[in-house]
């Protein structure tokens, strides 16, 4: 089967143990806004007026512990920022809130920062380079790599 033109991932819906804590993280730290609530069990968050990019619910997870490591499930959700300045501002908010980073990488195509949300879900904050800047092999295919990202340079 051929790829479907225009197809993309529209949103992620996360099971969380504490809805208020999750909303606080995704709004105050990452900059999303609540677009809709369903009582005390679910909320939908967005950026730029879209109906929702992230759904949060406690339907099956109220008070539950994070999923165990070394098991199947979500590795991370990735939040794409429009440019390097916006990614730097996101990093400043993360650091201002005292959150630990799990890593930061330059992948050639993108620059990424990795952390965990309050429920242990992996979160990648990243920005893409322009496609004409992507590293390529001699045959034209992508040559993605993982190198340390200079956070001081990003914040400058």
C-beta neighbour count of 130 within 10 angstroms: 7
Q: What total number of domains does the chain contain?
A: 2
Residue 43: phi and psi, rounded to 5, are -150, 155
CA angle, residues 21, 29, 42, in degrees to nearest 5: 40
The reply to whether 3 falls in a domain is no
Tell me the whole-structure pTM to 2 decimals: 0.91
Same-domain check for residues 89 and 133: yes
Assign residue 154 the CATH number of its domain: 3.10.180.10
Range of the domain at 80: 75-156
pLDDT in tens, 9-19: 889 999 999 99
Same-domain check for residues 23 and 79: no
Do the beta carbons of residue 54 and residue 44 sit within 8 Å?
yes
pLDDT in tens, 57-110: 999 999 999 988 899 888 999 999 999 999 999 999 999 999 999 999 999 999
Same-domain check for residues 14 and 83: no
Q: What is the pLDDT of residue 140?
A: 94
């Amino acid at each position: 089967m051929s790829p479907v033109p225009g197809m993309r991932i529209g949103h992620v819906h996360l099971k969380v143990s504490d809805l208020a804590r999750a909303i606080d993280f995704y709004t105050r730290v990452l900059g999303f806004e609540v677009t809709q609530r369903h009582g005390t069990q679910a909320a939908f968050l967005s950026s730029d007026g879209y109906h929702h990019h992230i759904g949060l619910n406690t339907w099956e997870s109220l008070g539950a512990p994070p999923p165990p490591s070394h098991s199947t499930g979500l590795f991370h959700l990735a939040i794409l920022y429009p440019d390097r300045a916006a990614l730097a501002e996101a990093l400043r908010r993360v650091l201002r809130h005292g959150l630990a980073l799990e890593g930061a990488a330059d992948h050639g195509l993108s620059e990424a920062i990795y952390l965990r949300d309050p429920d242990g879900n992996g979160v990648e904050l990243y920005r893409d380079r322009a496609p004409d800047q992507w590293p390529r092999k001699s045959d034209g295919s992508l040559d993605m790599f993982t190198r340390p990202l200079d956070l001081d340079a990003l914040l400058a």
